[in-house]
Amino acid sequence: MGSSSKRRKDKQKDFQKPKLKVGKTKAKPDNYTDTSFKSKSIVLTQQSLHLAAPTSNATFTHNLSLLSAKSDSQRRDSLAYLTTSISSRPVNSPLPQPVSVILPSLLPLILDGATSVRTQLLKLLRTLPPGDVEDHVAQLLPYVRAGMTHLAADVRSSAVEILSWMVEAAGESTVSCAGGWIKTLNCFLSVLGWHTEESSQWSSSRASFGKSGSQGKPMVKTLGALAVFLDAGIGKPSVDGVDSEMSGDDESPDWPFPLCQTAQHMISDSSTPFAYLNLFGKPRDEEGEMYETREDRYRVFSTRFQPAIERGIKSAREEGGELGRASSGVSKVLKEAIAYGPGP
């Protein structure tokens, strides 16, 4: 107990006012943290200093690499740069980089979260020469399908837009590449919600998950894309096509008399002429199969999709308004296809 006076002194110490003195620095508080540091050198991670300005080709490649940047404005700007550099190139000159190099870095952007990036991407895609796109449809399609079933409605609608561009640019290869027909149609049905009977009725209280999107009428746009897609897949073959088919039988004017059917024996002008053999991929199931002729596609369509689509169109027409008008486009394509039947 002899320590009580000492303890009292200790206690008093806590409440004493610190004495400030003129001309001396203020004492640091107890909880002061020293943040100063010493370093022998400071390293800047990226620094590229050149005397000469980079060539346009180098900037193109650089911007291509910037497509995977973190900030979405950066991605959008790079896309814009790429678009202008492709569209402003002299006529008939080749692309700064081949499509097969550009495309892999573009593909993930189909699922990009920022709307501005996706619209810019569509602009860029439109500038690509359609002939080059044709060979890369098989690469594009999985991404587009992933986009069409994305949780975010905006991504869905822009994926539909990209799909309609693809059909426009390379319709035949879009519908005939591996998985291009059944899987894509499945995605369409899922976007439109036409899979089952009860879910396709307009009166059904379909619990829609997520926001409906900010870009106007996604349903209308989707219906338009569906019409284009169906037309490309099972629409009545155009007269030129029939003509060329017919002329295949006759001796072609390009080849002089003794040569007949020579075009069949020449090296094919498509990049993967034997893709349907599937020599190197893993075995495909029914959904992933290639349906190369209209006949095949029509058969698959009539057995698997026709009832669902007809039902969907009917309910869309009943809904009326803009949607009804859009549905009439689809129904027109459908009618023509059915009228044409499985083929000549």
CB of 220 to another protein, least distance (A): 19
- Can you tell me which of 74, 119, 127, 190 binds another protein, judged by CB under 8 A? 190
Ranges within 232-291 binding another protein (CB under 8 A): 282
Per DSSP (E only), the strands in the chain are: none
3-state secondary structure 76-134: HHHHHHHHHHHHCCCCCCCCCCCHHHHHHHHHHHHHCCCHHHHHHHHHHHHHCCHHHHH
| Alpha-carbon 151 to chain mean position | 14
The residue range among 11-19, 124-132, 182-190, 325-333 that interacts with another protein, by the rule CB under 8 A, is: 182-190
Nearer to another protein, 85 or 201 (CB): 201
The residue range among 89-97, 115-123, 143-151, 319-327 that interacts with another protein, by the rule CB under 8 A, is: 143-151
* Residue 34 tokens, joined: 């020293």
239-244 long-range contacts, Cβ below 8 Å, gap at least 24? none
Ranges within 102-131 binding another protein (CB under 8 A): 108, 111, 113
Our CA angle for 314, 320, 321, nearest 5°, is 145
- Can you tell me which of 69, 86, 99, 152 binds another protein, judged by CB under 8 A? 152
Residues 6+ apart with CB under 8 A from 170: 130, 133, 134, 137
CB of 4 to another protein, least distance (A): 8
Distance of alpha carbon 103 from alpha carbon 95, whole angstroms: 12
Binding of residue 206 to another protein (CB under 8 A):
yes
Binding of residue 146 to another protein (CB under 8 A):
yes
- Can you tell me which of 98, 129, 131, 210 binds another protein, judged by CB under 8 A? 210
Distance of alpha carbon 141 from alpha carbon 159, whole angstroms: 10
The residue range among 30-38, 145-153, 265-273, 331-339 that interacts with another protein, by the rule CB under 8 A, is: 145-153
Contact 121, 110 (CB under 8 A): yes
- Can you tell me which of 207, 246, 279, 339 binds another protein, judged by CB under 8 A? 207
Distance of alpha carbon 79 from alpha carbon 77, whole angstroms: 5
Distance of alpha carbon 162 from alpha carbon 137, whole angstroms: 11
CB of 189 to another protein, least distance (A): 9
Binding of residue 150 to another protein (CB under 8 A):
yes
Nearer to another protein, 68 or 272 (CB): 68
- Can you tell me which of 193, 224, 237, 324 binds another protein, judged by CB under 8 A? 193
Q: Which residues of this chain interact with another protein, rule CB under 8 A?
A: 1-2, 68, 108, 111, 113, 139, 142-143, 145-146, 148-153, 179, 183, 186-187, 190-191, 193, 195-196, 199, 206-211, 282
